[in-house]
Amino acid sequence: MEARAVTWLRIIGWRLVFSVPLLLAVTFGMFVLAKASPFDPVRQYLGDRAMVTSPEIMAEIRANWGVDRPLLEQYTTWLGNLLQGELGESRSLRLPVTQVIGERLGWTLLVVGCALVVMLAIGLVLGTLAAWRRDSWLDRALTGGAFATEAAPVFWVGLLAIWVFAVSLGWLPAGGLTDAAATEVTFTGLLRHLTLPVLVLAVSQSSWLLLYVRESVIGVLREDFVLGARARGLRERTVLVRHALRSALLPFITIMGARVPELVTGVILVEAVFALPGVAGTTIKAALAVDFPLLAALTLLATIAVVLGNLLADLAYTLADPRVRVLGVS
Amino acid sequence: MAAVEATAGRRPGRRPVLAVATLAVLVLAALVVPLVAQLDQQLVDLRSAGLPPSLAHPFGTDEVGRDVLLRSIYGLRVSMLVGLVAAVVSVVIGGLVGLVAGTLGGLVDRLLMRVVDGFNSLPHLLFGVFIVAMFAPSPTAVVVAVAVTHWTTAARIVRSEVLSLRGRPFVDAAISGGSTRARVIRRHFLPNLAPHLLLATVLMIPHAIWHETALSFLGLGLPPHMASLGNMINDGQRSLLAGDWWSSLFPGLLILLPTLALSALAQHVRDRANPRWRSELVL
């Protein structure tokens, strides 16, 4: 127990040490890009009013935002504010960035969380089935479907789902969180509105998992201990779930953490297609409006999510594999 | 590895032939059709707006009456071109980084590989979005966005290949024969790296196309007036809600088909090119 705690602390420590330069580089890179950008943020902010605003007032806004100061100074100011939990004001929504994120992060986490659960269910069950009935028509249909969803763009799959389930069949709403007439978010309304986005995200993310589980279960099914389990007359289901799937899962945990970037990409596109008020869809709005404070904060948030994903993967791996636990991090 | 073995046991069958045929038809269409087409892809004809697929318009027409088949082929042409350029640029960047890391080794190698790890742990699409947002949507911005986020694969491949080449006897012989580093790179590394670079470029193209379409779909890719597959799906989004499925379905199929064909082909080539994998797994 003692040794495990030490190992965990060491992993967390190393990850944090490595993530600090990464986060610094990413945020600094954002400032360099913003500086190189041909857009004038003040003109962008004022829109049509830029024509009638006097240069003095524009210079005042510029000084107010600090965009007229040198790059390094802007960056260190932003960094200092960040450490105090101050992320500035969104220029397109005219709200504090912390408030925008606070209001929207929950929806994104809800969609991602539900999608992860569904994705695991789809990937594990269908992947094991495909491996068990290898080369059958079922296996071919499943792997074919997985390759197709892997190659198909998520937003396109989302649009097709809207066409089939919302437009043609009329079973589920096409987007948003509530019906047009509704005044508050209800549980059943939420369930109806989130079903399609969650399923689309889960299906698009589960194809690699299905293929992966299939490959590893096929590999494990040939191992001696599976042969032994079968020879002892254990039921096929026990062999499959307790022996084959369990040992096939080990490497998958680390890959899972490494897939967070793809998950971020998926949720951005799904929120855009289904017009959900989450942080991922807001990223696109911020980008279209060249809203630097908001876009910078959201990009930082996504990078932190990736770092955390890697950390969780490491920790889960230590938990699952006694060799890593005992021998420590390599 | 198990998948390699699983397919190796089976005969390759008609799958690679089918994949090559699909790719050939699509590439030929994208190259030849714009040269010989009688119709103008940008021709707005409101009388025939929103027509479902028929003999005259096999993919139907969009909300302003433009032929979806013709526009899809133009879109495929644009997407393929942007994809090709982005893939070449990212493989060149990645190849240079990999070559430097592999050749110099030591601290430079470790540092560069940390940078590669860093770039790999970024959400690619988000950074593409950021880059395009800070510069106006244009083919150049898309190419830069894709290349900046995708060079790492080529860097890894080239680095590991250079490392294995460095240990080969003919490189030792060249160095003891008095070859300079530049000569070793030119005469020994590059010819051996060429097939890997080619394969990396080809496999990068679908990724690049995917990114171009995703960015365009979000309104952050190619300018809206250009017929690209992503822009078409974005346009089709509005008419989809009215039930006009064809203007989003067919452009999407043209993204799906080449990607599937190329990955089937890559799988086949990989199985064929490396018989060692097969025998290892059979044992």
How confident is the model over A310-328, as a mean pLDDT? 67
Asked if the structure places residue B33 within a domain, the reply is yes
**ipTM field:** 0.80
What does the pLDDT read at residue A218?
82
How confident is the model over B241-256, as a mean pLDDT? 82
What does the pLDDT read at residue B246?
80
Nearest to B213 by CA among B78, B27, B85: B78
How distant is the Cα of B182 from the closest Cα of chain A, in angstroms? 32
Per DSSP, the three-state class of A89 is: strand
In angstroms, rounded to a whole number, what is the distance separating the alpha carbons of residues A193 and A196?
Answer: 7
What does the pLDDT read at residue A124?
86
Q: B11: which chain A residues are within 8 Å (Cβ-Cβ)?
A: none
Other CB atoms within 10 Å distance of the CB of residue A313:
20
Among A106-120, A180-194, B39-53, where is mean pLDDT lowest?
A: B39-53
- Tell me the whole-structure pTM to 2 decimals: 0.81
Average pLDDT in chain A: 80
How confident is the model over A317-327, as a mean pLDDT? 61
Residue contact A156–B122, C-beta within 8 A: no
Which residue segment(s) compose the domain that B260 sits in?
Answer: 14-37+59-280
Q: A162: which chain B residues are within 8 Å (Cβ-Cβ)?
A: 240-241
- pLDDT at residue A317 is higher than 80: no
Tell me what percent of the residues of chain A surpass a pLDDT of 90.
0
Of A21, A163, A283, the CB nearest to B129: A283
What does the pLDDT read at residue A329?
45
Categorize the per-residue pLDDT at B9 as very low, low, confident or very high, splitting at 50, 70 and 90: very low
**Site from A156, A207, A307 to mutate, B interface, most B CB atoms within 10 angstroms:** A156
Residue contact B1–A34, C-beta within 8 A: no
Other CB atoms within 10 Å distance of the CB of residue A139:
19
Of B1, B123, B220, the CB nearest to A306: B123
How distant is the Cα of A22 from the closest Cα of chain B, in angstroms? 6
Asked if A71 contacts A29 with a C-beta cutoff of 8 angstroms, the reply is: no
Contacts of A214 (CB under 8 A, 6+ apart): A127, A128, A130, A131, A139, A142, A143, B3
Asked if the structure places residue B191 within a domain, the reply is yes
Which has the higher per-residue pLDDT, A327 or B248? B248
What does the pLDDT read at residue B242?
75
Nearest to B199 by CA among B249, B274, B145: B274
Retrieve residue A277's tokens: 């008020």
Q: Which residue of A has its CA nearest to B132?
A: A287
Q: Which residue of B has its CA nearest to A272?
A: B218
What does the pLDDT read at residue B6?
45
Of A134, A159, A265, the CB nearest to B248: A159
Query: Tens digit of pLDDT for each residue in A207-218?
Result: 888 888 888 888
How confident is the model over B158-166, as a mean pLDDT? 87
Burial (0-12, 13-18, 19+ Cβ within 10 Å), B259: buried
How distant is the Cα of B95 from the closest Cα of chain A, in angstroms? 22
Residue contact A265–B260, C-beta within 8 A: no
Q: B120: which chain A residues are within 8 Å (Cβ-Cβ)?
A: 261
How confident is the model over B213-229, as a mean pLDDT? 84
Of B124, B233, B264, the CB nearest to A156: B233
Of B122, B131, B256, the CB nearest to A33: B131
Q: What are residue A158's phi and psi, to 5 degrees?
A: -60, -45
How confident is the model over A76-83, as a mean pLDDT? 84
Categorize the per-residue pLDDT at A330 as very low, low, confident or very high, splitting at 50, 70 and 90: very low
How confident is the model over A105-124, as a mean pLDDT? 87
How distant is the Cα of A268 from the closest Cα of chain B, in angstroms? 8
How confident is the model over A229-253, as a mean pLDDT? 76
Of A151, A168, A306, the CB nearest to B121: A306
Average pLDDT in chain B: 80
Residue contact B122–A33, C-beta within 8 A: no
What does the pLDDT read at residue B240?
79
How confident is the model over B152-167, as a mean pLDDT? 88
Contacts of A204 (CB under 8 A, 6+ apart): A149, A152, A154, A157, A266
Asked if the structure places residue B1 within a domain, the reply is no
Asked if the structure places residue B5 within a domain, the reply is no
Asked if the structure places residue B48 within a domain, the reply is no
Which has the higher per-residue pLDDT, B48 or A12? A12
How confident is the model over A211-226, as a mean pLDDT? 81
Query: Tens digit of pLDDT for each residue in B230-247?
Result: 888 888 887 777 777 788
Asked if the structure places residue B47 within a domain, the reply is no
Q: What are residue A172's phi and psi, to 5 degrees?
A: -130, 155
Q: A38: which chain B residues are within 8 Å (Cβ-Cβ)?
A: 135-136
Please name the residues between 22 and 41 in chain A that touch chain B, using a CB distance below 8 Å: 22, 25-26, 30, 33-34, 36-39
Residue contact B233–A167, C-beta within 8 A: no
Among A129-133, B64-68, B133-137, B156-160, where is mean pLDDT lowest?
A: B64-68
Other CB atoms within 10 Å distance of the CB of residue A184:
6
Residue contact A261–B129, C-beta within 8 A: no
Which has the higher per-residue pLDDT, B245 or B11? B245
What does the pLDDT read at residue B98?
92
- Which CATH number is B206's domain given? 1.10.3720.10
Categorize the per-residue pLDDT at B11 as very low, low, confident or very high, splitting at 50, 70 and 90: low
What does the pLDDT read at residue B85?
93
What does the pLDDT read at residue B2?
42
Query: Tens digit of pLDDT for each residue in B111-121?
Result: 898 888 888 87
How distant is the Cα of A13 from the closest Cα of chain B, in angstroms? 17
- pLDDT at residue B1 is higher than 70: no
In angstroms, rounded to a whole number, what is the distance separating the alpha carbons of residues A52 and A38?
Answer: 21
How confident is the model over B247-253, as a mean pLDDT? 84
What does the pLDDT read at residue B94?
93
- pLDDT at residue B273 is higher than 70: no
How confident is the model over B78-93, as a mean pLDDT? 91
Q: Which residue of A has its CA nearest to B281?
A: A219
Q: What are residue A54's phi and psi, to 5 degrees?
A: -75, 150
Q: A36: which chain B residues are within 8 Å (Cβ-Cβ)?
A: 134-135
- pLDDT at residue B97 is higher than 90: yes
- pLDDT at residue B280 is higher than 70: no
Of B123, B129, B233, the CB nearest to A155: B233
How confident is the model over B183-192, as a mean pLDDT? 84
CA distance between the termini of chain A: 19
Which has the higher per-residue pLDDT, A164 or A187? A164
Asked if the structure places residue B49 within a domain, the reply is no
Domain count, chain B: 1
- pLDDT at residue B91 is higher than 90: yes
**What is the distance of C-alpha B252 from the center of its chain?**
15
- pLDDT at residue B12 is higher than 70: no
How distant is the Cα of B5 from the closest Cα of chain A, in angstroms? 9
How confident is the model over B37-52, as a mean pLDDT? 67
How confident is the model over A19-28, as a mean pLDDT? 86
Asked if the structure places residue B258 within a domain, the reply is yes
Of A218, A260, A269, the CB nearest to B2: A218
